[in-house]
Chain A
């Protein structure tokens, strides 16, 4: 029988909160990186591409461990933040950062596909019509990257919803604080008595992911039609 405990509702809420925040926070950075990779010419471009795509190939646990080294109390960045009174590890912020890092390559990839589909002629036309580069960015590249932006965001959102490995290391599994859907399912699965509860949360997870992926497919088709 499908049933959800109050902590499950918390997990759903936290999952959505983490995924939405991670996606929204990543958008400007993702757009900037995709723009640099697509349009800019600079030394070290390949290194940037490798770094951006690295989280796709690394086990999420490895990413989580690196984040722990970076953001932990004695970490390079964590110690500075600690002095400023900011604690990230084992908070929802850490879960957001973990989701953002893991989903970032998917966002950049979609944005890049969208930008690569923009005819360079449109950019040249814009410049010869008096637009400065940032004007061209806002009035030509950004609107024409719309489908790529939506496709990338939906993909990243879906990936964030499923994020487990990095999150459990940097944010822990604290019900009502950092416990997202995958972490709640993990906890249920350790006890056979909670099989139905785990299945119920799985169904919720499948439903959210399907809605988001439907949206992603629609956007991808729109991009393909434009090409």
Chain B
């Protein structure tokens, strides 16, 4: 997908002026509430008319103020998944799913209804009313409905922000896999860097109506580390849990990490560990209360505001720790040195659990 947007839009005192050219199938737009993310995607979808500018998607001009082009939303073949699902309450799940499909020109219909229903595990819900679905089920139906319209681009406008944490990370695999499975590129809008990293390859940072950064999602998380109250979030896929001495021992990239006993219900899953929760030692400490102590190699350092990010190679995995420059000087931290990283068993937070068919209960 290739998208070029050069648009201006003013509402009262708010001015949006975006100039972006992106290519790829998994693009993110990251920004705080009120930064202009939704305005931008609404203009792309044709729901809002820019004051001036041009929008070109895959070589087709969707809007051009100079050439007097403004395709209507139904002409653009851009589906949306909204924050609040936006499902039609007077239609069944099946009729919601088929709403866009019925309006899609025959030559563009490539998605098979039964396959989509199977991928999204909606088979048992088809005859149900929308009002009888849980939040996670509604968002899966909304995703299915958008996909069934056979769009050339899928816009996901904070599709996870109305869901609680558990549901959010249960829905992400669906969002990713459905789009990949059916070959539909997407633009994912969020104010969560974790969601950005899980869902997108490249990301645009929007602030006060301006695109201020265009980089990879991973790089964006590093740039933002110094400003973020939670630091950089390390995402660890942990597996093969065994109970030991009242704690949970997991495997991570060939290393064993210990987590507190409250995780015993989960044998594997995605966990987060903040860069702020990792303490670095120049030498192996004699005794320490933290249950995890790893010998790591510093692979690189990066600056983020007044903080320094230290990228550590620990076995086959990598972690980012956050320190102040003074600490780096004191510890003699530079690329290539060996260092010890400690973190508490209680510092982990579970984002999703892979075992059990919890998605169906969504």
B partners with A? yes
Binds B, one of A51-59, A86-94, A104-112, A128-136: A128-136
Chain A interface main SS type: helix
State whether the Cβ of B46 lies closer than 8 Å to any Cβ in chain A. Answer: yes
Per-residue CB proximity of A124-165 to B under 8 Å, as 1/0?
Answer: 111111111001000110011000000000000000000000
Contact check, A140 vs B104: say whether CB atoms are below 8 A apart.
no
* Number of A interface residues in the complex (CB < 8 A): 18
Decide: B88 and A130 in contact? CB cutoff 8 A: no
Contact B89 A131 (CB under 8 A): no
Enumerate chain B residues within 8 angstroms of A144, measured Cβ to Cβ.
89-90
* A140–B90 alpha-carbon span in the complex (Å): 8
Q: Are B103 and A129 in contact (CB under 8 A)?
A: yes
How many Cβ-Cβ contacts under 8 Å join chain A to chain B?
Answer: 67
* A121 and B82 form a contact (CB under 8 A): yes
| A129 touches which of B42, B84, B145 (Cβ 8 Å) | B145
Cβ 8 A contact of B99, one of A124, A129, A132, A143? A129
Q: How far is the CB of A131 from the nearest CB of chain B, in Å?
A: 6
CA distance A132 to B72 in the complex (A): 8
B218-250 vs A: 1/0 string, CB under 8 Å? 000000000000000000000000000000000
CB nearest neighbor in B for A226: B89
Establish whether residues B47 and A119, one from each chain, have CB atoms under 8 Å apart when the complex forms. Answer: no
Alpha-carbon separation in the docked complex, A132 to B74 (Å): 6
**B101 to A: closest C-beta gap in Å:** 9
| Interface check B79, CB cutoff 8 A | yes
Task: Tell whether A122 is near chain B: CB-to-CB under 8 Å.
Answer: yes
- B293: chain A residues at CB < 8 Å are none
Least Cβ distance of B185 to chain A in Å? 16
CA A130 to CA B100, docked complex, whole Å: 6
A-B contact pairs, 12 of them (CB 8 A): A122-B86, A124-B47, A124-B82, A125-B86, A125-B87, A126-B99, A127-B46, A128-B73, A128-B146, A129-B149, A140-B88, A143-B90
Chain B residues within an 8 Å CB radius of A140:
88
Q: Is B321 an interface residue (CB 8 A)?
A: no
What is the bound-complex CA distance between A209 and B74, given in angstroms? Answer: 45
B78: interface (CB < 8 Å): yes
**A143–B89 CA distance with the chains assembled, in angstroms:** 10
Question: Which residues of chain A come closer than 8 Å to B99, judged between CB atoms?
Answer: 126, 129, 131, 139
Least Cβ distance of B65 to chain A in Å? 19
In the complex, whether B80 has a CB less than 8 A from a CB of chain A is: yes
| Bound Cα distance A130, B155 (Å) | 14
A126 to B99, CA, bound (A): 8
Q: Using a CB–CB distance below 8 Å, which chain A residues touch chain B?
A: 119, 121-122, 124-132, 135, 139-140, 143-144, 226
CB-CB under 8 A for A125 and B149, given A119-B86, A131-B74, A132-B72: no
- Tell me the B46-98 residues at the A interface (CB within 8 Å): 46-47, 72-74, 76-80, 82, 84, 86-90
Which residues of chain A come closer than 8 Å to B296, judged between CB atoms? none
Q: How far is the CA of A119 from the CA of B104 in the complex (A)?
A: 24
Alpha-carbon separation in the docked complex, A119 to B83 (Å):
13
CA gap between A139 and B91 in the complex, in Å: 10
Question: Within 8 Å CB of B46, what residues of A?
Answer: 127-128
Question: Do A127 and B74 contact each other (CB < 8 Å), given the known contacts A121-B82, A121-B84?
Answer: yes
| A131:B103 contact, CB within 8 angstroms | yes
List of B residues within 8 angstroms of A135 by Cβ: 74, 103
**B45 interfacial by beta-carbon distance below 8 Å:** yes
From residue B57, how far is it (CB to closest CB) to chain A in Å?
Answer: 14
A128 touches B89 (CB 8 A): no
Residues of B within 8 A of A129 (CB): 74, 79, 99-100, 103, 145-146, 149
Contact of A121 among B45, B86, B145 (CB under 8 A): B86
CB atoms of A127 and B73 under 8 A apart: yes
Q: How far is the CA of A130 from the CA of B149 in the complex (A)?
A: 8
Please pick, from A124, A131, A132, the residue contacting B86 in the complex, using a CB distance under 8 A: A124
In the bound assembly, the distance between CA atoms of A5 and B88 in angstroms comes to 52
> Chain A residues with Cβ under 8 A from B78's Cβ?
128
CA distance A94 to B309 in the complex (A): 83
**A135-B103, A144-B89, A144-B90 are contacts. A128–B47 as well, Cβ < 8 Å?**
yes
As a 0/1 sequence over residues 102 to 127 of chain B, the CB contacts with chain A under 8 angstroms (1 = contact) are: 01100000000000000000000000
